[in-house]
Amino acid sequence: MSVPNHFWLLIEDNNTTAAVVRKALEDKPIKYAYIAHPNDGLPCNGWSQYNRAFDYIRQNRDRFDPNAVVYLGNDNDAYGLDLFEQYVRPVKRIGVWPVGITNYLLQLPRVSNGNVVGFAKTLKAANHLGVYFGGFAFHISYLLYNNVKLTTDCAGLYGEECLLKQLKISMEDYEPYGISATKQNVQMWRRTTPTMFNRNFPKFGYLTDTVPAYEPIRHEMCERFRSIYKMTKSEAKEAAAMINQTWDPAVRIPPPEPVWDIYYISGMR
């Protein structure tokens, strides 16, 4: 692979892993673990999967170098290879760097005399914890000695903020990368995928997102839960209960019929 000496921990947001992903991993000379772990009543932006990854690292600490660095990637994001070699690998405490968000918005650390003093152009609250998950990496010791979890107790905070508070991160711990007086280099971009409920199209044998029959209701609940940073803890717990109830297979909505006539691919219909 293009990034040497790394361990790839993949958490599938599903009840089972995907055969095509397993096959792709088996063909690569890399160290990895591939685990299925569905959402369990938490915001639909990877919180359950992050928790499972944290547990795996703590339970298998002997598999990791004591000076390893933890980076939380996401399948919705795009990365430059320099991110891993020039930003992530040198981290001693917690590294932060510029992040591109949906085409033109940027979030980047403000640096004075080599120290991070805040963040600019951020979409989140204007405080020193206002970073996006893909915009930081931290020394493994922070995780091994703090039993962090993203739960409904994070209500009123962004997920990143809740995580970093539990890791006991302070402003002095931040190490800036990808930003200097002469060069500001974005190596990580947050991509946006359009929402489309009726995705029961032919897949021609390729792997695509698995869309449950109850996707419209799931989307509604996920969107409601996405604003957990505006909720109280009691409101978050109520939303979690609604999501768990809605996702019961007994209340699934029948899937739509396949649609063939709205596109044309290289002479195939």
Question: Any catalytic annotation for residue 85?
Answer: no
Query: Exactly one of 12, 26, 160, 175 is catalytic; which is it?
Result: 160
Whether the CA torsion 152, 157, 161, 166 is positive or negative: it is negative
Among candidates 225, 87, 92, 100, which has minimal Cα distance to 155?
225
Active-site amino acid positions: 160
